[in-house]
Structure 1
């Protein structure tokens, strides 16, 4: 007799032992559609949805402008690494329930020995795990739903959406922006590339047809992880040659963020003085983003890969359908260029924030660094509160900003980690949930006060339960 092993048994048992989810305790309000709207339906969004459910906060919706699950988030789209860059045992979406972790999921399907054999999590397996997580926990995501505009109202927001291309307005009390780099600002394209015809270049954020690069000479600008990943895929797809250009004299190799990963710094980072948080962000900018060793090895394994150091593009123009670039004193010709140049952060670049972006406090509004520590790019990062909420540039000018929680890379200077990535989940998701719970509870305190002081509840028993046990003093016989 063959016994079928249920790979979900451990996760199902963990939920059973946890007990039923709390009932939604947030009072309904007329004309309010949602208590919380989560923008972004990938790993961040579904993790928040699960955490809110465990906190008894209902009427939560997740929206994502992607066509479907396969096109949401980065893992099956912009991400091109073979393996994640974080340790395989880093706490993540399981939120303390180990049976929901990647390790438990993987071992239930492939065994403990197979898990022990991998050094880091393969990217496609991580995407598969997140899909399982969403489906197993029955977390719905509304795809093809684009956030166009956030309009502050009296104690709530009107969300102007495009649902399947049709304009629609919904209302919500809280917003979580879990929409990644794009939600923080957008892809950074150097001006030297931006002046070229669009068909001649892409950013790593784009959907690049690497098969179309077969037999072509490709330039990659940038030397962080995404640049090496793009170079590797282009070479694996049959590019004739790939030239990667770095402005630095050597590839960044010192992972300065990793130094601050121990519990003391990790748990207390937000309370570090502004001057020190600024200095840490500046150090990261100065040392650069470190590509993983295997990303470099993936590219240099090809003899037709060429690395250019201290190589800044001075100019570029189109000639006969190709790119002619001057790099230092040399001239190169390419069929296509890829900008692996990262992303910029600037709330003013996000059209959905246009109604109130001038009220959002930025780091330049809260901290003035010494003259030798100035950095224009860091200065426009939003200065976030302890629960990742926007803060007012002028106190009292926009009190509704506290109800928008920013869980994307905008939070880097304030919290010291790439917010939205796995390392930020364990510390910051609970902090945001706690604040949302607090705010929703005390916003309706009068209703809750009436509820918790009410005696409008059926008694557990009546006096007949103990009537026979009541001591009765015997009347003495005279």
Structure 2
């Protein structure tokens, strides 16, 4: 008995009953005799897959997903994510798009049974990746792996030009055209890893950002430092300890580790659907407070570190200075001086689009929140100020109207969209709602852009539903009766008859 095959059959039946995907309806567009993609999705992780699935269900099937990772390694789950389990509760439906048979729970129970689901504490990180691989396969989503976007250029004709590099081949470059581009580029979104300036005062071999590839086996027997107090700080510290590090010092800027996940306390469909409709000041105030309070690391992640006797926590210890010292690093904080062999900065990400070379052709035209909103001076945030000011469907907007019209066909479906749309474009809890908002907006824009062609199709449509033999005209059933009635009418209205004769 193959319960996973049964689940897949059920999913196909559910889609058939809902008439999904809808028939393809977007008129084809050509340039230089080549078909233009209706949508190109950059990023084949959870967000990109959910977006592509919803677009296809809406009848937009001329699309392609491009991801720089090898097949099955998209997103952070088996690259730089180093937690043992997801922090999200196991019952969240994630990218299932309201399809019960597409949930992680359905996939898990089909393979391991209901008792195993009941016994499951949280979802193992690598198993979540297995689920996403299945998600891609069962929906037959068109992902092209080992493909990096090197440049995205808006054209004067309203199309978008993408330069792509095939990473599996030397010097393999090609260009494709698309009407819309979705940047499903994850947590680093439009920017990249955020590292304090002080890191650049020492040689690069002594440190790494937590989102980079790190050879933890090489840290066995070494003294390791970790900067930060978020989930990734503890995940990297634990990984180093489990790899045999001689000791790990965690340098935490705050006087205490954050303990309350504030946004979880107001999580609801109201937040999901209502955040984008709040006024500017309210949106800024909500996210500024959440950002200031900071999301705590999961309890399990902290315990994973603290169970090691050679783990040392240093609160109230921002890094004030770094110094190379006899092949190691001296780390100075307000509380002391510590020597480590390697330092990991678990200091998050920034969303500064100006730092990404592939976005350079249009980055200067993008309107950011700092261009349209002046926050209360008591609520400063460089990160929020640099966030793109997005319109409907997560679309970029022009800083100066008329300077780059095609900019509104590029959709920022990643973490950088949080201030404009809320947490809909990267985190597991509301990714389906985000994908549906995105796909519906793109569908609306594609229809509007081709309105004349759709009107022509409306006028030209001539498939008759009636054949003409379904009914008869009672007045036409007797010519004699009609003539008699006309004669009676003329007799009763002599003046009308005289006027007709005069004419």
Quote the offset at 1:461 in angstroms.
6.9
Q: Once the two structures are superposed, what CA deviation does each residue of 1:315-349 show, in whole Å capped at 9, x if it has no partner? A: 11222221112122521111111111111111111
Q: How big is the alpha-carbon RMSD for the aligned residues of Structure 1 and Structure 2?
A: 2.2
- Matches of 2:109 and 2:471, distance apart in 1: 54
Partner residue, 1:196: 202
Q: Which of structures 1 and 2 has the bigger CA Rg?
A: 2
Aligned length, in residue pairs:
470
Structure 1 length as normaliser, TM-score?
0.93
- Matches of 1:17 and 1:79, distance apart in 2: 34
Partner residue, 1:46: 49
- Matches of 2:440 and 2:39, distance apart in 1: 13
- Matches of 1:466 and 1:329, distance apart in 2: 95
- Matches of 1:140 and 1:150, distance apart in 2: 20
1:296 corresponds, among 291, 295, 302, to 302
1:287 corresponds, among 278, 293, 302, to 293
Quote the offset at 1:418 in angstroms.
6.7
The answer to whether the 8 A contact 1:381-1:410 is kept is yes
Q: Once the two structures are superposed, what CA deviation does each residue of 1:228-272 show, in whole Å capped at 9, x if it has no partner? A: 000111111111101111000000112122123122222100011
- Matches of 2:335 and 2:83, distance apart in 1: 33
Q: Once the two structures are superposed, what CA deviation does each residue of 1:45-83 show, in whole Å capped at 9, x if it has no partner? A: 1111111110000210000112x1243210011111111
Question: Which is further off, 177-186 or 224-233?
Answer: 177-186
Partner residue, 2:92: 90
2:432 corresponds, among 426, 430, 436, to 426
Change in 2 beyond 3 A, CA 1:461/1:17 = farther
1:343 corresponds, among 349, 353, 378, to 349
- Matches of 1:397 and 1:159, distance apart in 2: 20
2:383 corresponds, among 363, 377, 382, to 377
Partner residue, 1:13: 10
Partner residue, 1:175: 181
Secondary structure, in 3 states, of the residue corresponding to 2:123? coil
Quote the offset at 1:89 in angstroms.
1.6
Quote the offset at 1:402 in angstroms.
1.5
Structure 2 length as normaliser, TM-score?
0.89
The answer to whether the 8 A contact 1:81-1:295 is kept is yes
The answer to whether the 8 A contact 1:270-1:386 is kept is no
- Matches of 2:452 and 2:408, distance apart in 1: 21
- Matches of 2:268 and 2:106, distance apart in 1: 24
1:156-167 residue pairs with structure 2 within 5 A?
A: 156-164=159-167, 165-167=171-173
Quote the offset at 1:385 in angstroms.
1.5
Structure 1 unpaired stretches of 5+: none
Quote the offset at 1:14 in angstroms.
2.8
The answer to whether the 8 A contact 1:257-1:416 is kept is no
Change in 2 beyond 3 A, CA 1:444/1:416 = closer
The answer to whether the 8 A contact 2:84-2:124 is kept is yes
Quote the offset at 1:460 in angstroms.
5.5
The answer to whether the 8 A contact 1:280-1:416 is kept is no
Partner residue, 2:326: 320
1:61 corresponds, among 46, 64, 69, to 64
Partner residue, 2:496: none
2:235 corresponds, among 197, 206, 229, to 229
Secondary structure, in 3 states, of the residue corresponding to 1:158? strand
Quote the offset at 1:160 in angstroms.
1.5
Q: Once the two structures are superposed, what CA deviation does each residue of 1:252-310 show, in whole Å capped at 9, x if it has no partner? A: 11212212312222210001111111111211221112111101011001111100000
The answer to whether the 8 A contact 1:384-1:411 is kept is yes
The answer to whether the 8 A contact 1:347-1:353 is kept is yes
Question: Which is further off, 331-340 or 161-170?
Answer: 161-170
Q: Once the two structures are superposed, what CA deviation does each residue of 1:100-132 show, in whole Å capped at 9, x if it has no partner? A: 110000010111121122232111111100001
Secondary structure, in 3 states, of the residue corresponding to 1:7? helix
The answer to whether the 8 A contact 2:329-2:341 is kept is yes
- Matches of 1:17 and 1:64, distance apart in 2: 29
Secondary structure, in 3 states, of the residue corresponding to 1:88? coil
Question: Which is further off, 223-232 or 360-369?
Answer: 360-369
2:29 pairs with 1:29:
yes
- Matches of 2:395 and 2:149, distance apart in 1: 18
The answer to whether the 8 A contact 2:158-2:405 is kept is no
- Matches of 1:178 and 1:126, distance apart in 2: 18
Quote the offset at 1:222 in angstroms.
0.4
Change in 2 beyond 3 A, CA 1:456/1:285 = same
- Matches of 2:283 and 2:42, distance apart in 1: 27
Question: Which is further off, 300-309 or 350-359?
Answer: 350-359
1:239 corresponds, among 241, 245, 248, to 245
